[in-house]
């Protein structure tokens, strides 16, 4: 199926690894041009250089927790500057995919004011600081699409993910609200809720849950994915496939949606 993304300019945050990098690969496979953003310049450079993209990839390191850094990254992406080197431009942004940031998982007794604040900065504001100006520019042009990858913890509270889950819940509300606000100006905004995905983040979650179990005198948790209805975690490429579809003209009437990809872990409507 031709998803109609050839030549489109896509910006992916959190692009150096995991779901973000899988999204970069998926968009490139559809013929899109991709700007990659991440805080870790070394990992980002290595990821970008590992791609055989024929000049269709730009990259820039940015800390999206800082609104000035986020805006500078967006300006640079639309001015088509990658790293310190100016290159031929990709033009205005057509698609924004947010995968950046992750709140550290902690048992409830380890949460303090700083931990709650860090979670909002790491997840909520790292999305908002780039999404808000990007959507405003898309609306001014009359077209654009945003896909926010937001963990399922925003819908179901987890004792080791209370601060991060609260940030995710706020993002889901912001995504739905902005979708309604900008629909008549041609901008579609959707959220995708992965459950367990085979990334380093899943390993960190398992370690946090093991610490909580030890503190409470319980047996350690089962291996990631063992208890899921599908019997395994998702692969990053499986999440990326849905992101690419939501960003494409084939999903032209899908906006304001929150789509679960947790392998039926949480049966809900």
In a domain, 2, yes or no: no
The answer to the question of residue 249 being in a domain is yes
Position 211 confidence tier, pLDDT thresholds 50, 70, 90: confident
For residues 51-70, average pLDDT: 93
Model confidence pTM above 0.85: yes
Is residue 34 domain-resident? yes
- Cβ-contact 163, 243 below 8 angstroms: no
Number of domains in the chain: 1
Kindly report the CATH number assigned to the domain that includes residue 53: 3.40.50.720
- Residue 86: band (very low, low, confident or very high) from pLDDT cuts 50, 70, 90: very low
Produce one character per residue of 123-152: b if its CB has 16 or more CB atoms within 10 Å, e if not.
bbbbbbbbbeebbeebbeeeebbbbbbbbb
Instruction: Determine, yes or no, domain membership for 183.
Output: yes
Looking at residue 213, its pLDDT comes to: 84
3 within domain boundaries: no
Q: What is the pLDDT of residues 117-126, one digit of tens each?
A: 888 999 899 9
Domain contains 168: yes
- Looking at the domain assignment, is residue 19 inside a domain? yes
Question: Looking at the predicted structure, is the pLDDT value of residue 244 above 90?
Answer: yes
Average pLDDT over residues 10-32: 96
In this structure, is residue 71 part of a structural domain? yes
The parent domain of residue 32 ranges over 9-260
């Amino acid at each position: 199926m031709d998803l109609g993304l050839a030549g489109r300019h896509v910006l992916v945050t959190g692009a150096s690894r995991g779901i973000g990098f899988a999204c970069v690969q998926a968009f490139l496979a559809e013929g899109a041009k991709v700007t990659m953003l991440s805080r870790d310049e070394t990992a980002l450079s290595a990821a970008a250089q590992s791609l055989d993209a024929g000049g269709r990839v730009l990259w820039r390191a940015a800390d999206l927790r800082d609104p000035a850094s986020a805006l500078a990254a967006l300006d640079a992406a639309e001015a088509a500057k990658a790293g310190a080197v100016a290159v031929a431009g990709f033009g205005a942004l057509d698609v924004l995919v947010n995968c950046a940031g992750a709140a550290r998982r902690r048992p409830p007794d380890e949460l303090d004011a700083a931990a709650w604040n860090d979670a909002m900065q790491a997840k909520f504001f790292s999305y908002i600081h780039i999404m808000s100006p990007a959507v405003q520019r898309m609306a001014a042009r009359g077209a654009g699409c945003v896909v926010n990858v937001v963990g399922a913890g925003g819908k179901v509270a987890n004792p080791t993910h209370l601060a991060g889950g609260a940030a995710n819940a706020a993002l889901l509300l912001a995504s739905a609200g902005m979708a309604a606000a900008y629909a008549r100006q041609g901008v579609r905004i959707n959220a995708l809720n992965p459950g367990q995905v085979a990334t380093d983040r899943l390993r960190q979650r398992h370690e946090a849950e093991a610490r909580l179990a030890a503190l409470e005198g319980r047996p350690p948790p089962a291996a990631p994915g063992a208890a899921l209805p599908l019997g395994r975690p998702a692969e990053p490429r499986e999440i990326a496939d849905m992101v690419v579809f939501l960003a494409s003209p084939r999903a032209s009437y899908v906006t304001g949606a929150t789509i679960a990809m947790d392998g039926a872990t949480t049966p809900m409507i």
